[in-house]
Structure 1
Amino acid sequence: MTHYHPSIETLTDYAAGALSLSHSLCVSTHLEHCSECQQQVKKLEILGAQLFEQNRMPPQELRHLKDQLFAKLEQQDTSTEATQTVGVVERIKDKGGKIPKSLRQFITKGYDDLTWMHLSPSFKIATLHNEEGGAQIALTRVKAGAHMPTHTHTGDEITLVLEGAFSDETGIYRQGDFISRDARHKHKPIVTKDAECICLTVLDAPIEFTGWFTRLLNPILRRYHPHTSL
Protein backbone atom coordinates (compact mmCIF):
# COMPACT_ATOMS: atom_id res chain seq x y z
CA MET A 1 0.00 0.00 0.00
CA THR A 2 1.38 3.39 -1.00
CA HIS A 3 1.34 6.28 1.48
CA TYR A 4 2.86 9.13 -0.53
CA HIS A 5 1.13 10.33 -3.68
CA PRO A 6 1.37 13.04 -6.37
CA SER A 7 -0.44 16.26 -5.51
CA ILE A 8 -3.93 16.82 -6.92
CA GLU A 9 -2.41 19.52 -9.14
CA THR A 10 0.07 17.02 -10.57
CA LEU A 11 -2.67 14.42 -11.15
CA THR A 12 -4.84 17.07 -12.82
CA ASP A 13 -2.04 18.02 -15.20
CA TYR A 14 -1.39 14.34 -15.88
CA ALA A 15 -5.05 13.68 -16.71
CA ALA A 16 -5.04 16.72 -19.01
CA GLY A 17 -1.84 15.62 -20.78
CA ALA A 18 -0.05 18.75 -19.60
CA LEU A 19 2.92 17.13 -17.82
CA SER A 20 6.37 16.72 -19.33
CA LEU A 21 7.52 13.26 -20.45
CA SER A 22 9.72 12.82 -17.39
CA HIS A 23 7.06 13.78 -14.84
CA SER A 24 4.36 11.79 -16.66
CA LEU A 25 6.62 8.75 -16.49
CA CYS A 26 6.86 9.00 -12.71
CA VAL A 27 3.10 9.41 -12.34
CA SER A 28 2.41 6.47 -14.68
CA THR A 29 4.75 4.26 -12.68
CA HIS A 30 3.10 5.33 -9.42
CA LEU A 31 -0.33 4.50 -10.86
CA GLU A 32 0.80 0.92 -11.46
CA HIS A 33 1.05 0.55 -7.67
CA CYS A 34 -1.76 2.83 -6.46
CA SER A 35 -5.46 2.10 -7.02
CA GLU A 36 -6.37 5.26 -5.08
CA CYS A 37 -4.65 7.53 -7.61
CA GLN A 38 -5.94 5.42 -10.50
CA GLN A 39 -9.47 6.26 -9.39
CA GLN A 40 -8.58 9.91 -8.86
CA VAL A 41 -7.21 10.21 -12.40
CA LYS A 42 -10.32 8.51 -13.76
CA LYS A 43 -12.48 11.11 -12.01
CA LEU A 44 -10.34 13.96 -13.32
CA GLU A 45 -10.57 12.63 -16.88
CA ILE A 46 -14.36 12.43 -16.65
CA LEU A 47 -14.51 15.90 -15.13
CA GLY A 48 -12.27 17.29 -17.86
CA ALA A 49 -14.48 15.82 -20.54
CA GLN A 50 -17.59 17.29 -18.90
CA LEU A 51 -16.03 20.73 -18.54
CA PHE A 52 -14.80 20.65 -22.13
CA GLU A 53 -18.34 20.00 -23.35
CA GLN A 54 -19.72 22.75 -21.13
CA ASN A 55 -16.95 25.31 -21.62
CA ARG A 56 -19.41 28.12 -22.35
CA MET A 57 -21.17 27.83 -19.01
CA PRO A 58 -20.91 30.73 -16.54
CA PRO A 59 -18.23 30.09 -13.86
CA GLN A 60 -20.78 29.50 -11.09
CA GLU A 61 -22.55 26.83 -13.14
CA LEU A 62 -19.23 25.15 -13.91
CA ARG A 63 -18.48 24.95 -10.20
CA HIS A 64 -21.91 23.45 -9.56
CA LEU A 65 -21.36 20.89 -12.33
CA LYS A 66 -18.01 19.95 -10.81
CA ASP A 67 -19.54 19.42 -7.35
CA GLN A 68 -22.36 17.32 -8.80
CA LEU A 69 -19.97 15.16 -10.80
CA PHE A 70 -17.66 14.40 -7.88
CA ALA A 71 -20.65 13.63 -5.64
CA LYS A 72 -21.94 11.17 -8.22
CA LEU A 73 -18.55 9.51 -8.59
CA GLU A 74 -18.15 9.19 -4.82
CA GLN A 75 -21.45 7.30 -4.64
CA GLN A 76 -20.25 4.64 -7.03
CA ASP A 77 -18.85 1.41 -5.64
CA THR A 78 -15.23 1.63 -6.79
CA SER A 79 -13.85 -1.21 -4.68
CA THR A 80 -14.38 -3.79 -7.45
CA GLU A 81 -12.84 -1.51 -10.06
CA ALA A 82 -9.80 -0.86 -7.89
CA THR A 83 -9.26 -4.59 -7.29
CA GLN A 84 -9.56 -5.35 -10.98
CA THR A 85 -7.11 -2.62 -11.93
CA VAL A 86 -4.44 -3.73 -9.46
CA GLY A 87 -4.89 -7.31 -10.64
CA VAL A 88 -4.07 -6.26 -14.21
CA VAL A 89 -0.91 -4.55 -12.99
CA GLU A 90 0.20 -7.67 -11.09
CA ARG A 91 -0.29 -9.88 -14.13
CA ILE A 92 1.76 -7.52 -16.26
CA LYS A 93 4.54 -7.60 -13.66
CA ASP A 94 4.47 -11.39 -13.57
CA LYS A 95 5.00 -11.57 -17.33
CA GLY A 96 7.83 -9.05 -17.46
CA GLY A 97 9.59 -9.57 -14.16
CA LYS A 98 9.92 -6.67 -11.74
CA ILE A 99 10.17 -3.91 -14.33
CA PRO A 100 7.08 -1.64 -14.33
CA LYS A 101 5.26 -1.54 -17.66
CA SER A 102 5.79 2.22 -18.01
CA LEU A 103 9.61 1.82 -17.84
CA ARG A 104 10.06 -0.97 -20.36
CA GLN A 105 10.75 1.51 -23.16
CA PHE A 106 14.01 2.28 -21.31
CA ILE A 107 14.69 -1.03 -19.54
CA THR A 108 14.33 -3.86 -22.05
CA LYS A 109 15.96 -6.67 -20.05
CA GLY A 110 16.52 -5.98 -16.38
CA TYR A 111 18.10 -3.65 -13.87
CA ASP A 112 21.38 -5.56 -13.90
CA ASP A 113 21.81 -5.02 -17.65
CA LEU A 114 21.82 -1.22 -17.38
CA THR A 115 25.01 0.85 -17.46
CA TRP A 116 25.57 1.87 -13.86
CA MET A 117 27.88 4.66 -12.73
CA HIS A 118 29.34 3.89 -9.28
CA LEU A 119 29.50 6.96 -7.07
CA SER A 120 30.43 5.00 -3.94
CA PRO A 121 30.81 1.32 -2.99
CA SER A 122 27.12 1.21 -2.04
CA PHE A 123 25.50 3.81 -4.33
CA LYS A 124 25.19 3.94 -8.12
CA ILE A 125 23.15 5.67 -10.83
CA ALA A 126 21.94 4.61 -14.27
CA THR A 127 20.70 7.31 -16.66
CA LEU A 128 17.62 6.28 -18.65
CA HIS A 129 16.95 9.45 -20.64
CA ASN A 130 18.06 13.08 -20.83
CA GLU A 131 15.58 15.67 -22.03
CA GLU A 132 17.50 18.19 -24.09
CA GLY A 133 18.19 21.17 -21.87
CA GLY A 134 15.76 19.79 -19.30
CA ALA A 135 15.26 16.96 -16.84
CA GLN A 136 17.22 13.76 -16.33
CA ILE A 137 15.42 10.45 -15.85
CA ALA A 138 17.57 7.98 -13.92
CA LEU A 139 17.59 5.06 -11.53
CA THR A 140 19.41 5.12 -8.21
CA ARG A 141 20.45 1.88 -6.55
CA VAL A 142 21.64 1.69 -2.95
CA LYS A 143 22.68 -1.44 -1.03
CA ALA A 144 20.70 -2.68 1.95
CA GLY A 145 21.48 -0.77 5.12
CA ALA A 146 23.56 1.83 3.30
CA HIS A 147 22.85 5.50 2.87
CA MET A 148 22.98 7.98 0.05
CA PRO A 149 25.33 10.89 0.82
CA THR A 150 23.76 13.99 2.33
CA HIS A 151 22.72 16.34 -0.45
CA THR A 152 20.64 19.34 -1.39
CA HIS A 153 18.66 20.04 -4.54
CA THR A 154 19.38 22.77 -7.07
CA GLY A 155 15.99 22.16 -8.69
CA ASP A 156 12.92 19.97 -8.33
CA GLU A 157 13.31 16.23 -7.81
CA ILE A 158 10.74 13.44 -8.02
CA THR A 159 11.55 10.06 -6.52
CA LEU A 160 9.45 6.92 -7.06
CA VAL A 161 10.40 3.82 -5.05
CA LEU A 162 10.57 0.76 -7.32
CA GLU A 163 12.11 -1.83 -5.00
CA GLY A 164 12.94 -1.87 -1.31
CA ALA A 165 12.49 1.06 1.05
CA PHE A 166 14.37 4.02 2.51
CA SER A 167 13.89 6.66 5.15
CA ASP A 168 15.01 10.22 5.76
CA GLU A 169 14.23 13.00 8.21
CA THR A 170 10.60 13.22 7.08
CA GLY A 171 9.43 9.61 6.79
CA ILE A 172 9.76 6.03 5.52
CA TYR A 173 9.13 5.39 1.83
CA ARG A 174 8.25 2.03 0.31
CA GLN A 175 7.45 0.55 -3.10
CA GLY A 176 5.20 2.84 -5.13
CA ASP A 177 5.63 5.91 -2.93
CA PHE A 178 5.94 9.22 -4.81
CA ILE A 179 8.16 11.86 -3.19
CA SER A 180 8.70 15.45 -4.36
CA ARG A 181 11.65 17.58 -3.25
CA ASP A 182 12.84 21.07 -4.16
CA ALA A 183 15.74 23.38 -3.37
CA ARG A 184 14.56 23.83 0.22
CA HIS A 185 15.28 20.20 1.11
CA LYS A 186 18.50 18.76 2.48
CA HIS A 187 18.40 15.11 3.45
CA LYS A 188 20.34 11.87 3.92
CA PRO A 189 18.30 8.86 2.72
CA ILE A 190 19.04 5.57 4.50
CA VAL A 191 17.99 2.23 3.01
CA THR A 192 16.33 -0.38 5.22
CA LYS A 193 18.50 -3.36 6.15
CA ASP A 194 16.31 -6.06 4.60
CA ALA A 195 16.89 -5.31 0.88
CA GLU A 196 18.55 -2.93 -1.57
CA CYS A 197 16.55 0.06 -2.75
CA ILE A 198 16.01 1.01 -6.39
CA CYS A 199 14.31 4.31 -7.18
CA LEU A 200 13.21 6.13 -10.30
CA THR A 201 14.29 9.77 -10.13
CA VAL A 202 13.60 12.83 -12.22
CA LEU A 203 15.97 15.73 -11.66
CA ASP A 204 15.25 19.13 -13.19
CA ALA A 205 18.77 20.14 -12.10
CA PRO A 206 21.67 18.19 -10.52
CA ILE A 207 21.73 17.39 -6.83
CA GLU A 208 24.61 18.79 -4.76
CA PHE A 209 26.46 16.56 -2.31
CA THR A 210 27.45 18.48 0.82
CA GLY A 211 29.96 16.14 2.47
CA TRP A 212 33.66 17.01 2.58
CA PHE A 213 34.58 14.10 0.29
CA THR A 214 31.38 13.50 -1.68
CA ARG A 215 31.22 17.09 -2.89
CA LEU A 216 34.09 16.13 -5.20
CA LEU A 217 31.47 14.17 -7.18
CA ASN A 218 29.38 17.27 -7.92
CA PRO A 219 31.27 18.21 -11.13
CA ILE A 220 30.62 14.70 -12.45
CA LEU A 221 26.89 14.97 -11.77
CA ARG A 222 26.75 18.39 -13.42
CA ARG A 223 28.65 17.11 -16.44
CA TYR A 224 26.12 14.38 -17.18
CA HIS A 225 22.98 16.40 -16.47
CA PRO A 226 21.33 17.94 -19.58
CA HIS A 227 20.39 21.11 -17.70
CA THR A 228 24.05 22.04 -17.21
CA SER A 229 25.74 20.31 -20.15
CA LEU A 230 24.63 22.74 -22.83
Structure 2
Amino acid sequence: MSFANRKDAGAKLAGALAGYRGKCPVVIALPRGGVAVAAEIARALDAPLDLLFVQKIGVPFHSELAMGAIVEGPEPTIVRNESVIRQARIHDGEFSAICKLKQAEIGRRKRLYLGDRNSIPLNGRVVIVVDDGIATGSTVKAALKAIRKQGPQELVLAVPVAPAATLEELKNEVDALICLEAPFVFRAVGHFYADFRQVSDADVIAALEAANQGGSE
Protein backbone atom coordinates (compact mmCIF):
# COMPACT_ATOMS: atom_id res chain seq x y z
CA MET A 1 0.00 0.00 0.00
CA SER A 2 1.59 3.26 -1.16
CA PHE A 3 -0.73 5.95 0.27
CA ALA A 4 -2.79 6.22 3.44
CA ASN A 5 -5.42 8.36 1.70
CA ARG A 6 -5.73 11.11 -0.93
CA LYS A 7 -4.40 13.76 1.46
CA ASP A 8 -1.28 11.66 2.05
CA ALA A 9 -0.85 11.18 -1.70
CA GLY A 10 -1.16 14.93 -2.23
CA ALA A 11 1.46 15.68 0.42
CA LYS A 12 3.91 13.26 -1.19
CA LEU A 13 3.26 14.67 -4.65
CA ALA A 14 3.74 18.20 -3.29
CA GLY A 15 7.25 17.23 -2.23
CA ALA A 16 8.05 16.09 -5.76
CA LEU A 17 6.65 19.36 -7.15
CA ALA A 18 8.46 21.69 -4.73
CA GLY A 19 10.49 23.23 -7.55
CA TYR A 20 7.33 24.82 -8.97
CA ARG A 21 6.63 26.90 -5.87
CA GLY A 22 8.36 30.01 -7.23
CA LYS A 23 6.78 29.73 -10.70
CA CYS A 24 3.27 30.97 -9.74
CA PRO A 25 1.55 27.78 -10.89
CA VAL A 26 -2.17 27.09 -11.12
CA VAL A 27 -3.24 23.69 -9.78
CA ILE A 28 -6.09 22.09 -11.71
CA ALA A 29 -7.94 19.17 -10.10
CA LEU A 30 -10.10 16.63 -11.88
CA PRO A 31 -13.13 16.17 -9.60
CA ARG A 32 -14.10 14.44 -7.65
CA GLY A 33 -11.21 12.19 -6.66
CA GLY A 34 -8.43 14.55 -7.65
CA VAL A 35 -9.55 17.46 -5.49
CA ALA A 36 -8.23 16.26 -2.13
CA VAL A 37 -4.88 15.40 -3.72
CA ALA A 38 -4.67 18.73 -5.52
CA ALA A 39 -5.66 20.73 -2.44
CA GLU A 40 -2.53 19.54 -0.63
CA ILE A 41 -0.37 20.49 -3.60
CA ALA A 42 -1.97 23.93 -3.93
CA ARG A 43 -1.41 24.57 -0.24
CA ALA A 44 2.25 23.51 -0.36
CA LEU A 45 3.00 25.54 -3.50
CA ASP A 46 0.96 28.56 -2.36
CA ALA A 47 -0.99 28.25 -5.61
CA PRO A 48 -4.65 28.78 -6.54
CA LEU A 49 -6.77 25.67 -7.00
CA ASP A 50 -9.31 25.33 -9.78
CA LEU A 51 -11.32 22.51 -11.32
CA LEU A 52 -11.60 21.09 -14.81
CA PHE A 53 -14.74 19.11 -15.42
CA VAL A 54 -14.28 15.97 -17.48
CA GLN A 55 -16.55 12.96 -17.80
CA LYS A 56 -15.72 9.49 -19.00
CA ILE A 57 -18.00 8.26 -21.77
CA GLY A 58 -18.62 4.63 -20.92
CA VAL A 59 -19.98 1.86 -23.10
CA PRO A 60 -23.74 1.60 -22.29
CA PHE A 61 -23.61 -2.06 -21.25
CA HIS A 62 -20.22 -1.72 -19.48
CA SER A 63 -19.97 1.78 -18.02
CA GLU A 64 -16.44 1.28 -16.67
CA LEU A 65 -15.12 0.64 -20.19
CA ALA A 66 -14.28 4.05 -21.64
CA MET A 67 -15.14 4.68 -25.26
CA GLY A 68 -14.12 8.32 -24.86
CA ALA A 69 -14.27 11.38 -22.66
CA ILE A 70 -15.71 14.89 -22.74
CA VAL A 71 -14.31 18.08 -21.20
CA GLU A 72 -16.19 21.28 -20.37
CA GLY A 73 -15.89 24.38 -22.52
CA PRO A 74 -17.80 26.66 -24.91
CA GLU A 75 -16.87 24.04 -27.49
CA PRO A 76 -16.43 20.86 -25.42
CA THR A 77 -13.36 18.75 -26.11
CA ILE A 78 -14.34 15.19 -27.00
CA VAL A 79 -11.85 12.35 -27.25
CA ARG A 80 -13.05 9.14 -28.87
CA ASN A 81 -11.58 5.68 -28.30
CA GLU A 82 -12.26 4.38 -31.79
CA SER A 83 -11.17 0.81 -31.11
CA VAL A 84 -13.62 0.45 -28.20
CA ILE A 85 -16.41 2.16 -30.16
CA ARG A 86 -15.86 -0.21 -33.05
CA GLN A 87 -15.66 -3.34 -30.90
CA ALA A 88 -18.78 -2.36 -28.92
CA ARG A 89 -20.62 -1.52 -32.16
CA ILE A 90 -21.66 1.93 -30.96
CA HIS A 91 -23.15 4.07 -33.73
CA ASP A 92 -22.63 7.83 -33.94
CA GLY A 93 -26.14 8.69 -32.78
CA GLU A 94 -25.75 6.61 -29.63
CA PHE A 95 -22.35 8.15 -28.89
CA SER A 96 -23.75 11.69 -29.36
CA ALA A 97 -26.71 10.99 -27.08
CA ILE A 98 -24.41 9.84 -24.26
CA CYS A 99 -22.22 12.92 -24.81
CA LYS A 100 -25.25 15.16 -24.24
CA LEU A 101 -26.03 13.39 -20.96
CA LYS A 102 -22.42 13.82 -19.83
CA GLN A 103 -22.50 17.52 -20.76
CA ALA A 104 -25.56 17.95 -18.57
CA GLU A 105 -23.77 16.30 -15.64
CA ILE A 106 -20.74 18.53 -16.17
CA GLY A 107 -23.03 21.56 -16.05
CA ARG A 108 -24.66 20.35 -12.83
CA ARG A 109 -21.34 19.79 -11.09
CA LYS A 110 -19.89 23.09 -12.26
CA ARG A 111 -22.87 25.05 -10.90
CA LEU A 112 -22.76 23.11 -7.64
CA TYR A 113 -19.02 23.37 -7.02
CA LEU A 114 -18.23 26.81 -8.40
CA GLY A 115 -21.50 28.74 -8.51
CA ASP A 116 -20.87 31.96 -10.45
CA ARG A 117 -17.09 31.94 -9.95
CA ASN A 118 -15.10 32.27 -13.15
CA SER A 119 -12.37 29.82 -14.02
CA ILE A 120 -8.76 30.98 -13.65
CA PRO A 121 -7.26 32.00 -17.03
CA LEU A 122 -4.51 29.54 -17.98
CA ASN A 123 -2.90 31.34 -20.91
CA GLY A 124 0.80 31.83 -20.21
CA ARG A 125 0.65 30.10 -16.82
CA VAL A 126 2.39 27.03 -15.42
CA VAL A 127 -0.51 24.57 -15.06
CA ILE A 128 -0.31 21.45 -12.89
CA VAL A 129 -3.09 18.94 -13.59
CA VAL A 130 -3.83 16.55 -10.73
CA ASP A 131 -5.92 13.41 -10.29
CA ASP A 132 -5.87 10.71 -7.61
CA GLY A 133 -4.62 8.15 -10.11
CA ILE A 134 -4.91 7.03 -13.71
CA ALA A 135 -6.05 3.74 -15.19
CA THR A 136 -6.67 3.86 -18.96
CA GLY A 137 -5.86 7.57 -19.28
CA SER A 138 -8.80 8.48 -21.52
CA THR A 139 -10.27 11.17 -19.25
CA VAL A 140 -6.88 12.65 -18.40
CA LYS A 141 -5.91 12.79 -22.07
CA ALA A 142 -9.09 14.69 -22.86
CA ALA A 143 -8.39 17.11 -20.01
CA LEU A 144 -4.84 17.74 -21.18
CA LYS A 145 -5.95 18.41 -24.75
CA ALA A 146 -8.52 20.92 -23.51
CA ILE A 147 -5.99 22.76 -21.34
CA ARG A 148 -3.37 22.81 -24.10
CA LYS A 149 -5.86 24.77 -26.22
CA GLN A 150 -5.75 27.54 -23.61
CA GLY A 151 -2.05 28.20 -24.21
CA PRO A 152 -0.29 27.42 -20.91
CA GLN A 153 3.39 28.27 -20.62
CA GLU A 154 4.06 24.80 -19.19
CA LEU A 155 1.69 21.89 -18.78
CA VAL A 156 2.47 19.42 -15.98
CA LEU A 157 0.63 16.21 -15.11
CA ALA A 158 1.03 15.05 -11.50
CA VAL A 159 -0.54 11.84 -10.20
CA PRO A 160 0.23 9.44 -7.35
CA VAL A 161 -0.11 6.27 -9.42
CA ALA A 162 -0.63 5.11 -13.00
CA PRO A 163 0.32 2.10 -15.11
CA ALA A 164 3.65 2.42 -16.87
CA ALA A 165 2.01 1.77 -20.25
CA THR A 166 -0.53 4.56 -19.74
CA LEU A 167 2.18 7.03 -18.74
CA GLU A 168 4.06 6.18 -21.92
CA GLU A 169 0.96 7.16 -23.92
CA LEU A 170 0.49 10.42 -22.00
CA LYS A 171 4.05 11.73 -21.91
CA ASN A 172 3.74 13.46 -25.28
CA GLU A 173 0.67 15.38 -24.09
CA VAL A 174 2.59 17.32 -21.41
CA ASP A 175 5.82 19.22 -20.82
CA ALA A 176 6.50 17.37 -17.55
CA LEU A 177 5.04 14.26 -15.96
CA ILE A 178 5.32 13.43 -12.24
CA CYS A 179 4.09 10.03 -11.05
CA LEU A 180 5.15 8.43 -7.76
CA GLU A 181 4.16 4.84 -8.56
CA ALA A 182 4.24 3.43 -12.10
CA PRO A 183 3.74 -0.35 -11.87
CA PHE A 184 3.91 -2.58 -14.94
CA VAL A 185 1.28 -4.85 -13.38
CA PHE A 186 -1.76 -2.74 -12.55
CA ARG A 187 -5.22 -3.67 -11.31
CA ALA A 188 -6.92 -0.53 -10.03
CA VAL A 189 -6.04 2.85 -8.54
CA GLY A 190 -7.75 1.98 -5.27
CA HIS A 191 -5.33 -0.88 -4.60
CA PHE A 192 -2.62 1.69 -3.87
CA TYR A 193 -4.61 3.43 -1.11
CA ALA A 194 -5.44 2.21 2.40
CA ASP A 195 -8.45 4.56 2.37
CA PHE A 196 -10.02 5.13 -1.05
CA ARG A 197 -13.55 5.98 -0.01
CA GLN A 198 -15.81 7.76 -2.48
CA VAL A 199 -15.53 11.56 -2.54
CA SER A 200 -18.80 13.45 -2.06
CA ASP A 201 -19.91 16.74 -3.59
CA ALA A 202 -19.66 18.30 -0.14
CA ASP A 203 -16.04 17.11 0.17
CA VAL A 204 -15.17 18.82 -3.13
CA ILE A 205 -16.80 22.11 -2.15
CA ALA A 206 -15.10 22.15 1.26
CA ALA A 207 -11.66 21.37 -0.19
CA LEU A 208 -11.99 24.04 -2.86
CA GLU A 209 -13.09 26.70 -0.38
CA ALA A 210 -10.32 25.84 2.09
CA ALA A 211 -7.62 25.88 -0.59
CA ASN A 212 -8.65 29.27 -1.97
CA GLN A 213 -9.55 31.09 1.26
CA GLY A 214 -6.73 33.55 1.14
CA GLY A 215 -5.26 32.94 -2.25
CA SER A 216 -5.26 35.18 -5.26
CA GLU A 217 -5.15 34.27 -8.91
TM bucket by the smaller chain? under 0.3
Higher helix proportion: 2
Higher relative contact order (CA 8 A, sep 6+): 2
TM-score using structure 1 length: 0.26
Structure number with larger C-alpha Rg: 1
